[in-house]
Amino acid sequence: MSRDLHNFGRVDLLDAEAIGQPGQRRFRLIARGGGETASLWLERQQLEQLSLALDQLLAQIAGGDLLRPEAMAERPATPGAPADFPEHPDLDFQVGQLTLGYDEAADHIVLLAARLELMERAGEVTARENVDPEFAGHMSRDQATRLSTHIAGVLAAGRPRCPFCGQPMDDQHVCVKQNGHRPMEIN
């Protein structure tokens, strides 16, 4: 099913936020540009990968390495959606695929997002691959850096991650990397 591409051009706003309590949060990118607004819903892992991909692309553009601190002394502020962001944006969907690119002539980073489309075949539900993007937005390097930092803050505000297996730690966490023999305490 082919849908129209909503090209926001250079976005005025592109940010990430989490809605809900840790362990039950939903994540989204919010965007405004070209007279349109969008809510692009993501899984936590997609948001984390977007942040890493932005950092890698920024380092590649700059021609050097970008040091990403894994642990931050202070969480960066994550403003979330501004008060004037509509409750029902023009574009609102669950993201199945994100693509990053770099427009060298304009010195912009391009973000494309395609809707998650599920197919049922022989009683098994799978995600459809190679879906045409519905969202396109361009951002400056500074906007990309801020977005990556905000994503790190959003992710850090959730449940702490086990340093060994990377799974969320709660009062029932038993680390598989330690063969489940030693439950880890949360401080």
- Mean pLDDT of residues grouped by 10 in the chain (187 residues)? 83 93 89 95 94 93 66 56 89 95 95 85 68 93 93 82 73 70 57
pLDDT of 126: 65
Confirm whether pTM is higher than 0.95. no
pLDDT of 186: 61
Instruction: Judge residue 51's burial from the number of C-beta atoms within 10 Å of its C-beta, 0-12 exposed, 13-18 middle, 19 or more buried.
Output: buried
pLDDT of 165: 77
The two three-digit tokens of residue 173, written as one number: 């966490």
pLDDT of 183: 54
- What residue segments make up the domains of the chain, in order of their start? 6-156, 162-187
pLDDT of 35: 92
Which residues contact residue 132 at a Cβ distance below 8 angstroms, ignoring those fewer than 6 apart? 2, 3, 5, 114
